[in-house]
Amino acid sequence: MTKSAPKRLFLLRHALASWPSIGAKDFDRSLDPSGFSIIDELAQNMAAQNMIPEAILCSAALRTQQTLEHLQVYWPQDQMPDASMIEFSDRLYSGSASDYLQAIQDFGYLYEECQSLMIIGHNPSIEDLTFALTGNQSGIAFERLRAGFPTAGLAILEFEVPFTEISPRHGRLISFPTL
């Protein structure tokens, strides 16, 4: 029997957001102009390296949705996930790392055939989830991760199990690029 390719999980923190205006809700914060610029650069790098996820689970907050929209501007049309492979979730807005993991497991059945899934969310949950899934590893990527998970930071992990079975300390951090 042939071993299947590992599942790849992309964990992306939204790009830099503007400060909220008086009376505005945090949920409705827009990306800062420099946030748009950095996410555009990340999207171009992902496309150049053929690292486009097949499915996306995104926080419903405005800044995460704008991050996704700007990624899609630079991704090749023929590689982009179609609308049926993109889910927006309120629980990723205020959820903890364990809520994020539960969301991946809950939505995993939708992505059974996919080899790659991207989560677009917020800190500290994205960073906490990355550490929980990878445990303590060595290498350049892990050292960069230890320095902090910046806005538009992207951790790429691999798993030998379906998304529905992902669990702590079983992921391998394969990349944490810095822009």
The domain that holds 54 is classified in CATH as 3.40.50.1240
C-beta separation of 12 from 121 below 8 A = yes
- pTM value > 0.85: yes
In a domain, 1, yes or no: no
Categorize the per-residue pLDDT at 83 as very low, low, confident or very high, splitting at 50, 70 and 90: confident
Question: Average pLDDT in the 102-111 region?
Answer: 86
Residue 3 has pLDDT above 60, yes or no: yes
Parallel, antiparallel, or unpaired: how do β-strands 7-13 and 154-159 relate? antiparallel
> Mean pLDDT across the chain, nearest whole number?
91
Domain assignment present for residue 106? The answer is yes
Residue 77 has pLDDT above 70, yes or no: yes
pLDDT value of position 5: 87
The pLDDT, as a whole number, for residue 82 is 85
Q: How far apart are CA 143 and CA 17, in angstroms?
A: 25
8 A C-beta contact, residue 101 and residue 129: yes
Q: Is residue 66, in this structure, part of any structural domain at all?
A: yes
In a domain, 77, yes or no: yes
Coil vs helix vs strand at 172: strand
pLDDT at 22: 81
- Domain with 168 in it: 7-16+30-175
The domain total for the chain is 1
Q: Does residue 127 carry a pLDDT above 60?
A: yes
Q: Considering only residues 83 and 12, tell me which one the structure prediction assigns the higher pLDDT.
A: 12
User: Quick one: average pLDDT of 151-166?
Assistant: 94
Torsion 175-48-87-164 (CA) sign: negative
Is 22 a member of any domain?
A: no
pLDDT at 146: 87
Q: Is residue 2 part of a domain?
A: no
What's the pLDDT at 1?
42
Q: What is the pLDDT of residue 21?
A: 79
* Encoded tokens for 119: 């989560």
Residue 141 domain-assigned (yes or no):
yes
pLDDT score recorded for residue 52? 95
| Residue 46 forms part of a structural domain | yes
